């Protein structure tokens, strides 16, 4: 719940068109590039003050590889399949195991981790 002090604080982000009020706000950039964040504050007498910052948003990418099973792997129904993957972000930072999620187009969610 906002109090009267929070209602006097207004956030805006361009070019996203985001706006919110309160002491804190969270926005999710819709694209990479420069986003201009502005906070406006006004008091009961109508005095307005602003602060702004430019935020650079870049796309994070990862090279992902499934190590097991091999392409066109064949097995009998109900046989276990070991899933193993690796991923490197931005060229050299290995992603932690908890970043992985395995999903089957037939069975849905299979599990988490670099090895499932």
Distance between CA atoms of residues 45 and 67, nearest Å: 65
pLDDT band at 3, cuts 50/70/90? very low
Place of tokens 């706006």: 19
Q: Which helix (H) or strand (E) holds 28?
A: none
Q: Among residues 43, 9, 19, 13, which one has the least CA distance to residue 31?
A: 13
Place of tokens 């060229």: 91
pLDDT in tens, 62-102: 788 999 999 889 989 889 999 999 988 876 778 888 888 99
How many Å from the N-terminal Cα to the C-terminal Cα in the chain? 43
Distance between CA atoms of residues 98 and 113, nearest Å: 5
Q: How many residues does the chain have?
A: 116
pTM above 0.75, yes or no: no
pLDDT at 5: 52
pLDDT band at 25, cuts 50/70/90? very high
| pLDDT over 60 at 4, yes or no | no
pLDDT in tens, 29-49: 888 889 999 999 998 888 889
Distance between CA atoms of residues 114 and 98, nearest Å: 7
SS3 for 99? helix
């Amino acid at each position: 719940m906002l109090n009267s002090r929070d209602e006097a604080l207004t956030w805006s982000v361009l070019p996203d068109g985001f706006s919110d009020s309160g002491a804190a706000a969270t926005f999710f950039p819709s694209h990479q590039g420069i986003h201009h964040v502005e906070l406006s504050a006004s008091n009961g007498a109508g005095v307005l003050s602003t602060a702004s910052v430019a935020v650079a948003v870049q796309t994070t990418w990862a090279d992902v590889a499934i190590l097991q099973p091999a392409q066109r792997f064949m097995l009998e129904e109900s046989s276990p399949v070991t899933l193993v993957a690796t991923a490197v972000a931005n060229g050299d930072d290995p992603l932690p195991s908890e970043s992985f999620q395995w999903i089957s187009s037939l069975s849905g969610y299979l599990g988490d981790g670099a090895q499932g």
